[in-house]
Amino acid sequence: MSADHKLCASFRDPSGFIFMKEGDLLRQVNPPYEPHYKKLMGSGLYGQLTGKGLLISHEEVDTGLAMSEGAIAVLKPDRIPFISYPYEWCFSQLKAAALATLEIQQSAIQLDMVLKDASAYNIQFHKGRPTLIDTLSFETYVPGTPWKAYKQFCQHFVAPLVLMSHVDVRLSKLTASFIDGIPLDLASKISKSATKFSPRVAMHLHLHAQMQAKAAHSTVPAQTRGAFNKNSLLGLIDSLQGLIEKLSWKPEGTEWGDYYSDTNYSSSSMSTKHQVVNEYLDLVTPQPAMVWDLGANNGEFSSLASARGIPTIAWDIDPAAVEKNYLKRSNDPYMLPLMQDLTNPSPAIGWNNKERDSFLQRGPADVVMALALIHHLAIGNNVPLADIATFMNDVGRWLIIEFVPKEDSQVQRLLSTREDVYPGYTQQGFEREFGQRFELVRATAIPDTRRTLYLMRGKG
Amino acid sequence: MKPMNRVFNLLIATACVLTISRSAGAYIDAGSGSYLLQILFAGILGGFFVAKTAFRNLILVITRRIHPQENSDSVTHVR
């Protein structure tokens, strides 16, 4: 969509909203938010947080650019190359986002401000680290008041992290079903037996869920007579930090976690593959602004793109692979490992199905890499080659793809437990179907294997 | 009513009495239960935080005496 428009995800907070104008992403600040905005900018909090990379930087532009009348400011924030969602993050990414939120809240309290919301969607991975992108999330601290966003923080961060750490890491997928975070009663019910001996989990999750049920029909109190002073608020944040820091998950025993130590690649063929992928990236002109590596595993080949300073999304279905990639390359500002099941990609969710974009809506990338992936889609999931070619053409302008024939031991492993109902899965069939959608630029056989690496340019 | 439930309800009632019932003014739902839980634990949370900060500061003071070149800015001030 190129015309000026308000972003569909930006409608809940009356303080302002995000909109597109002449290709620029802008944020309008509305009059009721003026005192809070002035305090954010004047107290030193903005400078402190942007200096640490915890808050997105912005420049103030002409209020004449506002989308509606009465704006007190129009901000042009730094552009984030790619928007990702909590249900696509691995355990350590969600944990880092939670700790960043608490650190921001701690800094804000010291300067008499607080976070008025604590949605995980307000955090994005920018230059490799979790960053708050909603500049209007702060408000002036009112002495004696509890934290309004405590419930939201527990639903968006505590509940999924406790479930992932203590029950099963795949439960992070629940966050896609509950857009305002996992209901605490549900998380409590699922995790109760596994978290009996944790006092912090007992307070922030189980007791919290019980309190919500018991007080569901009580009037919401706004201010206390000093019952919740600043030390109590700092104590709450400290307690949440202690809880989150102690949660852990070790990636082991999953499908792809040790893939590269379990392949038929020799070190020389692996090195040739690296070299060919690099050559193909050189041939893409102009230099790509975005690379998606589908089935990226631990990011071994994605890093060839990110090393060139290209924002690279390393997608993989396996939480262990994404976790390992994130932990190994957390210092790479251009790499973003994310979870994605390509046979059931992230849908558009939220109000009017427009709050959070689908996987496809966030493309196409300039280059898509699909290395050692096609057999999993064609044979592992019965997707016809023609459909895979269409999909690849939808998500990328250029394609670096590896064809893995039936004779390959990895394909033989897939075929060992299923009937071979894939007569069209041949190199000729692959070239024919992909030739409908792509122009073949290069093909290189990988020595000591039966595999071939292709560079293709989309026909549009 | 079970004794535990009676205690629980009493705690909620106490928390309600301690509060002034006015609109929270938040654009998100702050949640009555979440508010009450924070108020119930206010003393414990604040007390632990003050004690923890004081302990940390004490350790810093001792460390500084042993290694005088260490930066004195790291002392945390309790509000």
Q: Which of residues 117-156 of A touch B (CB under 8 A)?
A: 117, 146-152, 154
State mean pLDDT over A26-50. Answer: 97
Interchain CB distance below 8 Å, A222 and B25: yes
Chain B hits for A221, Cβ within 8 Å: 15-16, 19-22, 24, 32, 35-36, 39
A323's tokens: 């976790």
CA dist B35 and A228 (Å) reads 10
Residue B25 — pLDDT band, cuts 50, 70, 90? low
Beta-carbon separation of A227 and B18 below 8 A: yes
Angle in degrees, 0-180, between the axes of helices A91-110 and A230-246, rounded to the nearest 10: 160
| pLDDT value of position A79 | 95
Scanning A31-90 for CB atoms below 8 A from B yields none
pLDDT at B9: 55
pLDDT category of residue A13 using cuts at 50, 70 and 90? confident
Look at residue A4 and tell me whether its pLDDT is greater than 90.
Answer: no
Q: Which of these, A290, A305, A295, A287, lies nearest to A366 by C-alpha position?
A: A290
Higher pLDDT, A421 or B76: A421
**Binning pLDDT at 50, 70 and 90, where does residue A251 land?**
confident
- Number of Cβ atoms within 10 Å of the Cβ of A439: 11
Yes or no: say if A212 and B33 are a contact pair by the CB < 8 Å rule: yes
Q: With 0-12 CB in 10 A as exposed, 13-18 as middle and 19+ as buried, what is A69?
A: exposed
| Mutate: best of A36, A150, A234, A243, partner B, most B CBs <10 A | A234
pLDDT at A25 exceeding the cut of 80 = yes
Please tell me whether residue A123 adopts helix, strand or coil conformation: strand
Q: Is the pLDDT of residue A117 over 90?
A: yes
Helices B3-17 and B32-40 pack at an angle, to 10 degrees, of 90
In sequence order, what are the residues at sequence separation of 6 or more whose Cβ sits closer than 8 angstroms to the Cβ of residue A218?
Answer: B12, B16, B32, B33, B36
Beta-sheet pairing, A16-21 with A5-6: antiparallel
Euclidean distance between CA atoms A416 and A420, whole angstroms: 9
Are the beta carbons of A375 and A411 closer than 8 angstroms?
yes
ipTM of the complex: 0.86
Model pLDDT, residue A266: 82
| DSSP bridge partners of A115 | A138
The band of A213, judged by pLDDT with boundaries at 50, 70 and 90, is very high
- Chain B residues with beta carbon closer than 8 angstroms to that of A235: 44-50
Q: What is the pLDDT of residues B2-13, one digit of tens each?
A: 555 555 555 555
Res B54: pLDDT: 94
> A105, A116, A219, A229: best mutation site toward chain B, by most B Cβ within 10 Å?
A219
The structure tokens 């090195």 sit at A271
Q: How far is the C-alpha of A425 from the C-alpha of A19, rounded, in Å?
A: 46
A203 touching B (Cβ < 8 Å): yes
- pLDDT score of A78 more than 70: yes
CB A84 within 8 A of CB A124: yes
d(CA B34, CA A125): 29
Q: What is the pTM of this model?
A: 0.91
Token pair of A326, please? 């994130």
Which residue in A210, A201, A306 sits closest to A243, CA to CA?
A201
pLDDT value at position B20?
41
- Which residues have a Cβ under 8 Å from the Cβ of A79 and sit 6 or more positions away? A25
